Structures are given as C-alpha cells and as structure tokens.
Chain A
Amino acid sequence: MDGSRKEFIHKTVAMLKEAETSLPVDVMAALQNALNAETNERAREQIKAMLENVKFAGNKGLPICQDTGTPIFYVHVGRSANIDFDVKHALYIAVQKATEVIPLRKNAVHPLTRELEDKPLLDVIYEIAEGDQIVVDLLVKGAGSENASMLKMLNPSADIRKFVLETIVAAGGKPCPPIIEGVGVGSTFNGCAWLAKKALFQSLNKEHTLLEERLLKDINSLGIGPMGLGGDTTALKVFVEMADCHTASLPVAVNIQCWANRRASFEMGR
C-alpha cells in the first residue's frame, strides 16, 4: 500500500524536524530547574545560553545544534500491524528528505578514508510489540557525547560505580554537559550497549531509583559543571537499565547524551 509508505515518510520527516529544532518539555524543565538550583555564576551563563538557543532555534525553525547527529530510530512493530513496505528504506528516504528541507548536516563519512559519503546516516532498532500499530521513537545523537561513551566487560566482583564515575571524569566537558546518562548493566556485549542507549529514550520526568539517585548525586558532586567550566550541574538525569548476564560476566555500558537531548515520536495505525 503506497499510501501508508508515503504517510510513514511524511511523519518521519515531521518527527525529525520537531526533534532537531526543539527540545521536549521535560528536558526544558530539567534545564530550567538546573538554572534555578545552580550556584556557580559561569555555569548559570551556560545554561541561560542553552535555553535561549533553544527558544531562538524554535522561533526560526533552525536546528538547535549544527551537529544534527545520527538519528536513532527505535521502531516498535505491533504484532498485527499491516506493513507492506520496507521500513528501513522508508526511514532512509525520510532522513534524506529531512537533510534537504530542515536542513541537516551531512555527517556520513567512510570510516577509513574519512571521505564524505553523499548518503544519510541512521541507526534502526526493531522490537515486536503488542497491538496493530507501528510506533517510532527517535533519539538524535551528536558525536561529542557519543565519543565520550564507554563499554567495559567488568570482572563480576568489580565496582560498577567506579567505572561509571571514571567515565564521567574522563569525559569532562567534551560531551556537552549537563548530560543525560544511560547505564546498561548486564546482558551481553551488544545487549549491554543497547540497554544503555535504550535508557536515553525515556522522559526525564521518570522517577529515579535509589541507585540512579545515588549515581546522580555522585556525578553532580564532581564539579565538572555545564560545558566542563565548573558548577553543580554535570548531569540532569541518570537512567540505569539492567538485564541478567552470564555467571562469569559483568558487561557495563555508559552511553552519554548531551544537554540537547533531542527526542520525538510518532505512531501510525493500521
């Protein structure tokens, strides 16, 4: 059915536009709360610039950041959804369109030659869900924060908190703090990385667990602050996702997202 493919592409382009040119309400509220609580004057200037930037970008319909990132599509396919088109190809076409109309930066290069590839860059993860709908969640991920992310196969007796905090200290101002941190604990090498990334799709309004609360408190005591220039606000949120793992393993992944936590979603019925 060509109509549903067209609708899907149209909705994906609109979702990309929303994500790239605005921030979700929960992220704006978290930044505003951070500004109110921040005691460091320089840090306050940084957060004020962030808030002003988002407002200005929104009014002008411009991307918040010139690193328009890699769009990560988390596609939930309903068990009885009737999809008769190539979803990955439709997403590819949508990113290509969005790159022209928003516009987005062409970020794809060959990994070895580093030559610019004239094609869109995207990541797609599928999950089978209940129902007859297709739900697409989008996370836009810049390179600065992705580059500061880390995965380690720890010794089962090792200290997870130590690895998490060391990763944040090593990252300093590079991932554009205040960050949102996704921590994956358990599963397998690849499963753990996905747990950490999946965590970042969540609303910042979600309540912290005790472990998350403790990690957030520790991270914010490090004094790194917005953009690594010092301050009380290094992280806005910590999400920990866990899964069982092999008795001899302890995979831990820290996936860092910048303050410009660009997310959007859409759903499409049968």
Chain B
Amino acid sequence: MPPVESAIHAIGDELFSLETPIKISNIKKLHVGDLTFISGVIYTARDKAHAKIRRNRAHLPFNLEGGCIYHSGPIIIQTNEKYRVVAAGPTTSARMNEYVPDVIKLGVRAIIGKGGLSDRAVEVMKGRCIYLAFTGGCGALAQRAIVDVLQIYYPELGETEAVWKLKVKNFGPLIVAIDSNGRSLYKDVENYSHRKLHELLG
C-alpha cells in the first residue's frame, strides 16, 4: 500500500492519496476511473444519521468542513470501555441520494460508498465533492484500514445507524466513480448496458 505523509502523493502516474481535511484543489486532481486511498478522519452515516444531520444541521456535534462521509453501517462492539471494529464495508449509496445537497452545504468534499448516486446528486456535487467507490462486501479490508475509533455520535440510533468518527490510514482501494466535473462512471456503464440490452432484445 502507498505511504501517505502529506496531503497528496503521486504514485506512478495516476495514483493520488487523499488526506482529510480535503482541499477542493486536491479533489480536482482526481478523475473518473482513478484509483486512490484516503487517510485521516471519516464519518460513517446511513439513512437515519443523514436524516438527523439534516434536522440538526445548525448545531452539529462534529465538523464536516473538508470532511468525508462514509456510507456504512459497521459492526463495532465495545469491550472494556474500548470500541473494536469488526467489519465496516460500504452500504448502497442510492438510499442517501436526497441528503447529498445537505452534506455538501456542510462542506463535505468526498463521499465513500457503493453503487453510485442519482443524476441530481451528481449535479449538486459538481466542483465541490467527489464520490469514491469502495468494493462492496469488503468489511474486513475496511476494518484493517481503520486505525482508531475516535467517537460515536447519535448512539441512540444504534451501533449500525450511528455516526462513527473513525481514524483511517490508506483506506481503500477506492475508485473515483464520480469526479468533480460531474462525470460518473456509473452513468457511462448504465448507458452502455442499456444500449447492449436494446441490442440483445432487438
């Protein structure tokens, strides 16, 4: 795995690693299809957490400026006052489509998830935020890259739906699936598969 010491590293010709807080200038260096890793602090959020973030946006207990949201409902257990991550792969991002404008307004620069976001969400993200696809089902790989559990917010939502502040190192591999120009790999794939389907059913 690539070492991460400063904000951005060129690995070979294509690979850059991100570090939080994320600068807009850095997300602009990443393009659809690029492979990347992220280090720093990420916040998990699923359906219920997003609804709560929207409701409490004026006085959030955490700062999302330059931040990274991770669509994940992890298994994290508490043993002897210490939190232990068991598995923390990505969840389907489409369920969070309607909340993307809210988190962008709060300064989120990167969203990690799986399966992609709606056209409307992609439009809102333009110039401000990128979407990084993490391989679905890779709960153990995610666990390996999480070096510390820093805090739990909204524990009343339960361990799965709560917001977890996680310290990560070389979290990935991540594919830039929606870049800051609004180009979406999912859209390209969708267009191709629809054309193919049409041909097959001819």
Contact = CB atoms under 8 A, between A and B. Distances in A.
B91 to A, nearest CB: 7
Given A67-B73, A173-B115, A42 B139 contact: no
B153 interface: no
Contacts of A259: 136-137
Interface in B58-105: 72-75, 77, 86-89, 91-92, 94
A182 interface: no
**Interface SS of A by simple majority:** loop
Interface in B148-202: 158-160, 173, 175, 177, 185-186, 188-190, 192-194, 196-197, 200-201
A159 B202 CA distance: 12
Contact of A230 (B142, B143, B160, B189): B189
Given A66-B74, A227-B114, A172 B140 contact: no
Interface size class of B (residues with CB under 8 A): 35 or more
Contact of A62 (B139, B158, B177, B190): B139
A57 B139 contact: yes
A228 B175 contact: no
Contacts of B141: 49, 52-53, 56
A230 B196 contact: no
Nearest to B172: A49
Nearest to A56: B140
Interface string A85-107: 00000000000000000011111
A228 B137 CA distance: 13
Contacts of A30: none
Contacts of B175: 42, 45-46, 229
A116 interface: yes
Contacts of B135: 46, 49-50, 53, 226-227
B138 A49 contact: yes
B136 A53 contact: no
Contacts of B188: 230
Contact of B114 (A42, A45, A173): A173
Interface of B: 33, 35, 48, 72-75, 77, 86-89, 91-92, 94, 114-116, 133, 135-144, 158-160, 173, 175, 177, 185-186, 188-190, 192-194, 196-197, 200-201
